[in-house]
Amino acid sequence: MICLVETKAAESPHTYYSTYEKKVLSVKKRLLEILYILFIGLSICDLSFSIIHMMFPWDLYQLKFASSVLILIILTIVLILTNRFMIKTMQETNRDLRGDFRNVLFIPVAVYLTYAVISCMWNSQEGAVFFIPEITTRVIFIIMVILLYMQVFYGIHKAIRQIHIDEEMRLAKDVQSSILPDPDVFENITGVKIHAAISESELVGGDFYDIIRIWDYHLAVVIADVSGKGISAALMMMRVKTMIKIAVRTLFTQPGRMLTIVNREIMKNNDACRFVTVFIGLLNLKNGRFSYSCAGHNPPILCRSGTCTPLVCEKAPGLGIMDHEYTDQRTVLKRNDTLFLYTDGVTEAQNKHGEMYGVDRLLSIVEKSDDPKTMINSVTEDTAVFTGGSSQTDDMTMLAFRYTQE
């Protein structure tokens, strides 16, 4: 027996229950009370009709059958209301109550089964004609009870699963939002104009971007996409972001070396076999020299004098897949050059026909403007038109910066 003690800990050695545990016990107790009352009432009615039926063998049998049907209807209504009540409570507590429901299923069915066996054995003394409909009625009733409970169990299982998914997505969104840089930081960097945005999908992924200021005239630009969804991908995202930031602070002139070190650290503890695609670039704000390295990520788009083309990037695996020596690549940005970075959620956005947005359409949109904010807003609007409101399963992350130094 479980007892709830509402005294102070210093005054009693009993276990104290949280608000959640008290709610669960209260729900379980109420549900069992309803079912016990129902089964006791059913047993009394059944016994009463059996006694009357012994005196009038066939006259009242139809009435007895009708009462059984009525009891089944009442039981169905009770179970539907119980289902709603349990789901509401689970939403408040956000906990899995399936173990409690197994107990709820077992106790009343066991009680009624015991009663049915005893009753059938007693009534069988009156003859086979009376015994057969009695046991048939009881067997059908027990089957109906089990089926009804299975229906309730299935509904609650779905509710629990959806609640857990929603909670995980909410936590993942919180984690993702917490690690993104403050947009106000962009305005304090001279020599570049920066804008970034994330369009969240139904299933939050592991996209992130970062702008890291190194001394007075170096700037690191990072965009990455962690495989998987939910809180596990978000935690992996935090880990990778932290490692990249440390690598940038210590090896700020060697982006390829940074990725190599981070890759080895990920592979030391990657039981979930997740991988991360990353693009990292280091910009010298004084002379526009831009060194970069790419680990399986979409090549950024370089827009110069109204023409936009993908930046030449080495084909290399994402981080966490295999040991690999990533290399540095270099270019020089001219004044008013714009670099557009994005994740595959943009090019792989699908419309209702299953068609993907694609790189070609993306190029045609970013060519229309060299302003980072206008460029990102245009892509966001065009993808919305293309998808036609279809739900997407991957985040669309974009970062654009224009080199404005004389």
Name the helix (H) or strand (E) containing 276.
Answer: strand 276-284
The partner residues of 292 in beta bridges, in order of sequence, read: 281, 329
CATH number of 181-403: 3.60.40.10
- Other Cβ atoms within 10 Å of 328 Cβ, number: 16
With a threshold of 0.85, does the pTM exceed it? no
Contact 226/233 with Cβ under 8 angstroms? yes
Q: What is the DSSP string of 185-234?
A: HHHT-TTEEEEEEEE--SS--EEEEEEEEETTTEEEEEEEEESS-HHHHH
- Other Cβ atoms within 10 Å of 388 Cβ, number: 10
Reading the block at residue 354, the tokens are: 């299953």
Number of alpha carbons in the 13 Å side-chain half-sphere of residue 267: 14
* Strand residue runs (E) in 43-94: none
Q: What is the domain partition of the chain in residue ranges? A: 16-173, 181-403
Instruction: Tell the burial category of 106 from Cβ atoms under 10 Å away from its Cβ (0-12, 13-18, 19+).
Output: exposed
- pLDDT per residue rounded down to tens, the chain (406 residues): 223 333 333 333 334 344 555 555 556 555 655 665 666 566 566 656 655 655 655 555 555 556 556 655 665 666 566 656 665 655 555 555 555 555 555 555 555 555 556 555 555 454 444 445 555 555 665 666 666 556 555 655 665 566 666 666 777 677 767 777 776 667 778 889 999 988 766 556 678 899 988 877 899 999 999 887 777 777 888 889 889 999 988 876 789 999 999 999 999 888 778 899 999 999 999 999 999 999 999 999 999 988 999 999 999 999 999 999 999 999 999 999 999 999 999 999 998 888 999 999 999 999 998 899 999 999 999 999 998 877 777 888 999 999 998 6
Strands 301-304 and 289-295: unpaired
Reading the block at residue 34, the tokens are: 């309803």
**Quick one: which of 266, 259, 273, 343 has its CA closest to 301?**
343
Radius of gyration of the chain (CA): 33
Report how far residue 136's alpha carbon sits from residue 61's, in angstroms, rounded to the nearest whole number: 14
3-state helix, strand, coil in the chain (%, to 5): 55, 15, 30
